[in-house]
Amino acid sequence: MATEVSEHVALSSIQNADRPLVKYVPSIWGDFFLQYASEFMEVDDNMKQKVGVLKEEVRRMLVSSVNHNFSRKLDFIDSIQRLGVSYHFQHEIDEALKQIHDSFTNNAIITPSDHDLHSIALLFRLLRQQGYHVSSGIFIQYKDQNGNFNEKLRNDVRGMLSLYEAAQLRIDGDDILAEALDFTSTQLKLLSSQLGPSLVTEVEHSLRLPLHKTLQRIEARHYMSFYQDDPSHNEILLTFAKLDFDMLQKLHQNEIGNITKWWKKSDCARRVPYGRDRLVESYFWPLSISHEPQYSIARSITGKLIAVLALLDDTYDAYGTVQELELFTEAVRRWDASLINFHPEGMKAVFGIITELCNEIESVIANEGKLNFIIEHVKHAIYNLAQAYLTETKWGNEGYIPTYSEYKSNGVATSTYPLEIISFVSLTTLATEEVLNWISSDPEILKATSIIGRLLDDMASHKFEQERVHVASSVECCMKQYGISEEEAYKVLHDDITHYWNVLNEESLKLMNVIPKAVLEFLVNLARVSEIAYEKYQDGYTKGEFLKKYVDAVIVNPIP
């Protein structure tokens, strides 16, 4: 009791201390998504029946295409994937690509005389995406006697675009793909002014958002308009993709509607006035991890959790004192709210909401008949995040600028991605003890996706954050350690991001037969949403207007 009283006295003396408060603008969405909140999602029976018929027709065409023209087969699979409906036909696509791999790659009979650059680059990309370690040496044949890519390729814009997309799947040591990327990106930029309207739009889109680094729902929305203008498009596939997009969008609207209803009922914005109200942006992250219908519960609860993690971040970053936060972190470690009885109401509210969400996860796990080890993984990840936030707070208060490596090491946790992936996977059928133990061990692929997110976030937000007392970001750490300018630091960070994408690609190939493919795709999708949310050095999470066009495209606006 004496200890509690002394803590109360000590904390009371700093209740009115200067705090590095930030006045965040209100959510740009307000109550907009409440209109979608309901107990049940209604989908027109006629639409469901039509979609079912079209789906089976697409399946029939996919299976029958296996024995048809090689190039057309690849294009059909690519279109299915880019239109966002591959989740319906994963088994058939797996079988088709296995047959293609066995028939062509193993027999080493792919040559320019047999197939054009587009087909060979597409083959390479599709097989690497599938987990086949196809050698990049397949592209040596497109070099001239001086070891440079043949200038004649400039006349094949479609082939160069496909090679550019294939080069995104390079790993460290794939020098020829690094050269291919330099060559194709340079040539496509030079040629863009000479292309027709449709092709120039496609080239500019790919240069800005390569296929491998964008989200499937965003790509599907874009590709539909491009695909329908192609005279050779498959009308059945296109119609199915449009209807499927709209049906799935209704589910996503229902999810964000019910999350909004929960947020209002929990009164989070009023109870934690110093924090960011970014519920819609928070839901965008688990929607990016996977949009597939079977992950609805995982999206809904992880979306809530990410919204509360923003409040937790702001508690450490823009409100709590070091003394308060040390006790708060200990409360998280012990899972004991009594340790923060004398803390400000907002901090107690954050702890309480996190506890409620863990109880909700526990309830879902219990209903699914799963074991308690799952919730322990979630709680441990929450503590790791709190501890990393506390480290940053102490660095900021002490004026300590860590080394770039030291910052990145701590930044794996502060990206929040280890906790997000633990939460998401925990609420799916993929949540085995083996998988969760692997995620909790901080494997290289998780470190890579987390650091990509951390560095992109920093470049987008560091100038705003440095206007107050705040921990140095990766930009400032890099500038100090290497004695370089901000512009030069950006170059270092971009080179690092390129390296970590290579790591992601390589680890995905290594782990394809060890870890469920879906889990690996979740992790890559976290890197992809970082590329989207922080593009052009804009913080699309904190400043929702920069993310709005994507939210509109995938959640709000149906296909015309």
How far apart are alpha carbons 357 and 354 in whole angstroms?
5
Q: What are the start-end ranges of the H helices in 89-234?
A: 90-100, 117-130, 157-167, 175-191, 197-208, 216-228
Q: Enter the CATH code of domain 267-556.
A: 1.10.600.10
- The amino acid present at 528, given as its one-letter code, is R
- pLDDT, tens digit (0-9, with 9 covering 90-100), for 338-394: 999 999 999 999 999 999 999 999 999 988 777 778 999 999 999 999 999 999 999
Q: For residue 77, how many other CB atoms are within 10 A of its CB? A: 23
Quick one: tokens of 448?
């890579």
pLDDT band, very low/low/confident/very high, at 39 (cuts 50, 70, 90): low
- pLDDT, tens digit (0-9, with 9 covering 90-100), for 209-219: 999 999 999 99
Which of 339, 320, 341 minimizes the C-alpha distance to 330? 339
Tell me, yes or no, if the pTM score tops 0.75. yes
Cβ-based neighbours of 99, under 8 Å, separated by 6 or more = 66
- pLDDT, tens digit (0-9, with 9 covering 90-100), for 451-469: 999 999 999 998 777 666 6
Class of domain 59-241: mainly alpha
Average pLDDT, the chain: 91
Q: By mean pLDDT, which of 57-61, 352-356, 470-474, 491-495 is the weakest?
A: 470-474
Helix (H, G, I), strand (E, B) or coil at 484: coil
Helix (H, G, I), strand (E, B) or coil at 342: coil
**pLDDT of amino acid 519:** 98
State the average pLDDT over residues 511-528.
97
Helix (H, G, I), strand (E, B) or coil at 26: coil
The answer to whether residues 233 and 320 touch, using CB atoms and an 8 Å cutoff, is no
Which residues face 149 on adjacent strands?
143
- The amino acid present at 503, given as its one-letter code, is V
Which residues face 143 on adjacent strands?
149
Q: For residue 288, how many other CB atoms are within 10 A of its CB? A: 23
The answer to whether residues 110 and 120 touch, using CB atoms and an 8 Å cutoff, is yes
The answer to whether residues 101 and 74 touch, using CB atoms and an 8 Å cutoff, is no
How far apart are alpha carbons 549 and 542 in whole angstroms?
15
Cβ-based neighbours of 108, under 8 Å, separated by 6 or more = none
Which of 34, 126, 111 minimizes the C-alpha distance to 76? 126
The answer to whether residues 137 and 173 touch, using CB atoms and an 8 Å cutoff, is no
- pLDDT, tens digit (0-9, with 9 covering 90-100), for 69-91: 788 899 999 999 999 999 999 99
Q: Where does the chain hold its CATH 1.10.600.10 domain(s)?
A: 267-556
**pLDDT of amino acid 71:** 84
Biggest CA pair distance of the chain: 85
Q: Identify the residue with better confidence: 366 or 264.
A: 264
Q: Identify the residue with better confidence: 380 or 42.
A: 380
Cβ-based neighbours of 173, under 8 Å, separated by 6 or more = none
pLDDT band, very low/low/confident/very high, at 65 (cuts 50, 70, 90): low
The answer to whether residues 86 and 93 touch, using CB atoms and an 8 Å cutoff, is yes
The CA-based angle 358-362-363, given to 5 degrees, is: 120
**pLDDT of amino acid 9:** 36
The answer to whether residues 358 and 308 touch, using CB atoms and an 8 Å cutoff, is no
pLDDT band, very low/low/confident/very high, at 405 (cuts 50, 70, 90): very high
The CA-based angle 422-424-425, given to 5 degrees, is: 65
**pLDDT of amino acid 4:** 41
pLDDT band, very low/low/confident/very high, at 471 (cuts 50, 70, 90): confident
Q: Which residues of 515-543 are buried (b: 16+ CB within 10 A; e: fewer)?
A: bbebbbebbbbbbbbbbbbbbeebbbbbb
| The pLDDT of residue 105 is above 80 | no
**pLDDT of amino acid 467:** 63
- The amino acid present at 140, given as its one-letter code, is I
Cβ-based neighbours of 135, under 8 Å, separated by 6 or more = none
Quick one: tokens of 2?
């004496």
% pLDDT > 70, the chain: 92
State the average pLDDT over residues 49-63.
95
State the average pLDDT over residues 153-163.
95
State the average pLDDT over residues 491-514.
97
